[in-house]
Amino acid sequence: LIVTDAGFTRRHMSTAVDGEMVAAPTQQASHAARQHWLAILAGASAGQLETAWQGLTDKPAYRALRAPETGLIMLRGRVGGTGQPFNVGEMTMTRAAVQLLGSAGEVTHTGFGYVAGRSARRAELVALFDALLQDPARHDAITAAVVEPLAVRQQAAKARQSAKVAASKVDFFTMVRGE
Amino acid sequence: MNERTVTASTASAPYGPLEPGLRDPVLGSQTCFRAVLDALAHPGRIVDLPQALAGSPPATLCEATASIVLTMCDIDTPLWLDPAASPAAPYFAFHCGAPLIEGPAKASFAIVSNPTALPPLQSFALGTDEYPEQSATLIIEVTDLSALHGVVLRGPGILDEARLSASGLPTRFWEERQALAELFPRGIDVLFTCGGRVAALPRSTRIG
């Protein structure tokens, strides 16, 4: 049963965000890139995101399209990764949507944030970074300053966890009777 | 899941220019609900809705219509928009997730932004004798509302008689409404909106 992996949650959330994005005429090719940064942002802690936000030199003006709200989503799993999907249970999550405003007050980019748990600020920050990353003028700088360092840390944490789990692995053998 | 399917089908409008919904979803919808309840309890009375929206109402619609839909509609209430109101489809799909449907027949709520092209009232869901609540609530945008003149209303919630004038309504509306009266408890409930005001014409009200 593969449901305890934290990556499961993140994959699931990326899918949810992607569902919302269908309505936006975003190029198909950029979907994968956006899923990637959203997955990493959604996996970051509130502190990491807040630090990154405070580190921005020019913070954009923005307004809430959907103020952060907490609700439940149904998690689905498959036995062994290949079985029929089934509902594992519900988890708490918080989502937010923000619109970046240009100099004339016009909406330039819309960002979405879906995070596990009940931190409103965390969802808002994910949405803000999502919106900023859609801006071609700021994409590369934010990727280098925020997304990549977070990705490296998450990768390392996952590797540590995997190593720890692997050390406790037990193989069960069925002794075949020699007849 | 349903919400997403619908959102995808209204793909023409990007999310960029969407307006925000209720400023405070909980308090805003509660005060708005209370105002609509007041209006329905006193047919013909013109009630001011609280200014609950964080931004402007969606294109072509008035503030009252938008607040009422955001208050009343969710994923369980199929919503029909008349062609004049259809530019607001992405707004409602995003903020309340109501399934947007093609024809008026199965709608729980219907927004009529251009009353001159109002479909015959018989074409909306009227409920059944066992389940009269499975009927449509019409939100009709009118150009002006006045309680000083217009048709005479009688019935529950009205002490003696009330008057209501809704400008922009075709005269056939009152004839069709009259024809529905004998179907009670089947029927439709109507909310007239204009700017930030609302007046109600529930099915229990008699005209004339």
ipTM of the complex, rounded to two decimals: 0.78
Q: How far apart are CA A39 and CA A17, in angstroms?
A: 10
Given CB atoms, is B16 within the 8 Å cutoff of chain A?
yes
Question: How far is A143 from chain B, CA to nearest CA, in Å?
Answer: 22
* B16/A109 Cβ within 8 A: yes
Given CB atoms, is B20 within the 8 Å cutoff of chain A?
yes
* Burial class, A60, CB count within 10 angstroms (exposed 0-12 / middle 13-18 / buried 19+): middle
Q: How far apart are CA B86 and CA B105, in angstroms?
A: 17
The phi, psi pair for A114, rounded to 5°, reads -125, 120
Question: How far is A64 from chain B, CA to nearest CA, in Å?
Answer: 7
Whether the predicted pLDDT of B169 surpasses 50: yes
DSSP-derived letter for residue A145 is I
Q: What angle do CA A35, A158, A145 make, to 5 degrees?
A: 55
Question: For residue A29, what pLDDT band results from cuts at 50, 70 and 90?
Answer: low
What average pLDDT does this structure show over A22-30?
Answer: 55
Strand segments (E) across chain B: 47-48, 79-81, 109-112, 137-141, 144-154, 162-167, 189-194, 197-201, 206-207
Q: Which tens digit of pLDDT belongs to each residue from A43-58?
A: 999 999 999 999 998 8
Whether the predicted pLDDT of A10 surpasses 70: no
* A99/B16 Cβ within 8 A: yes
Q: Closest to A23 (Cβ–Cβ): which among B10, B17, B55?
A: B10
Question: For residue A171, what pLDDT band results from cuts at 50, 70 and 90?
Answer: confident
In our burial notation (b when 16+ CB lie closer than 10 A, e otherwise), range B33-61 reads eebbeebbebbbbbbebbebbbbebbeeb
Given CB atoms, is B163 within the 8 Å cutoff of chain A?
no
Given CB atoms, is A3 within the 8 Å cutoff of chain B?
no
What average pLDDT does this structure show over B136-142?
Answer: 97
A127: three-class secondary structure by DSSP: helix
Residues 15-34 of A with CB under 8 A from B: 19-20, 22-25
DSSP-derived letter for residue B154 is E
Residue B73: what pLDDT? 95
Residue A28: what pLDDT? 64
Residue scoring higher pLDDT (B68 or B7): B68
Radius of gyration in angstroms for the set of CA atoms belonging to chain B, rounded to a whole number: 16
What average pLDDT does this structure show over B63-88?
Answer: 95
Report which residue type is found at A95. Answer: R
DSSP-derived letter for residue A74 is E
Q: Which tens digit of pLDDT belongs to each residue from B179-189?
A: 999 999 999 99
